[in-house]
């Protein structure tokens, strides 16, 4: 049978309940991830700045790991939401390219599926802070799709 987590994910997906989707993923909840719907129907994944997300206190910059996590979760959620049937996307190969250091302000990520097959999906994501045209990091990920 399906696990409680799979049930929670499936229910959230069917209702397009993005808050419920985040709550079903403990690490997304920890990061305070919020899924915003843009005017064109696309999604933005927003992570507000918190002091405990700082990597280096002498240089107030967001920890690289939190930026990587935001990008990874954005791609994973995008893969989840895009699936016709609920499948759990397991990241198998995640690459993060850092272009600029992250300031201690909110981060926004957008993601898109560039390939979605029966067993494997691939996604790309970009993370920016104040300006969408000044990205701070990019992500690519491949996912193996497991039936829930």
Confidence of residue 60 (pLDDT cuts 50, 70, 90): very low
129 and 136 Cβ atoms separated by less than 8 Å: yes
Tokens, residue 125: 């994501």
**Whole-Å CA distances, 123 to 2, 49, 54, 79, 129:** 26, 25, 27, 7, 20
Q: What are the pLDDT digits (tens) for 22-58?
A: 888 888 888 889 999 988 988 999 998 766 665 555 5
Q: What are the pLDDT digits (tens) for 109-132?
A: 999 999 888 889 999 999 999 899
- Asked if pLDDT for residue 14 goes beyond 60, the answer is yes
* Least confident segment among 16-25, 48-57, 77-86, 102-111: 48-57
């Amino acid at each position: 049978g399906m696990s409680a987590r799979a049930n929670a994910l499936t229910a959230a997906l069917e209702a397009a309940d993005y808050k419920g989707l985040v709550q079903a993923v403990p690490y997304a909840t920890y990061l305070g991830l919020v899924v915003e719907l843009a005017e064109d129907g696309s999604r933005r994944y927003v992570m507000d700045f918190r002091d405990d997300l700082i990597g280096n206190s002498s240089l107030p910059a967001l920890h690289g790991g939190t930026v990587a996590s935001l990008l990874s979760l954005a791609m994973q959620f995008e893969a989840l939401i895009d699936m016709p049937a609920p499948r759990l996307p397991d990241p198998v190969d995640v690459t993060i390219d850092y272009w600029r250091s992250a300031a201690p302000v909110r981060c926004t990520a957008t993601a898109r599926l560039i390939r979605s097959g029966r067993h494997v999906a691939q996604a790309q994501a970009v993370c920016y802070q104040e300006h969408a045209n000044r990205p701070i990091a990019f992500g690519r990920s491949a996912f193996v799709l497991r039936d829930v």
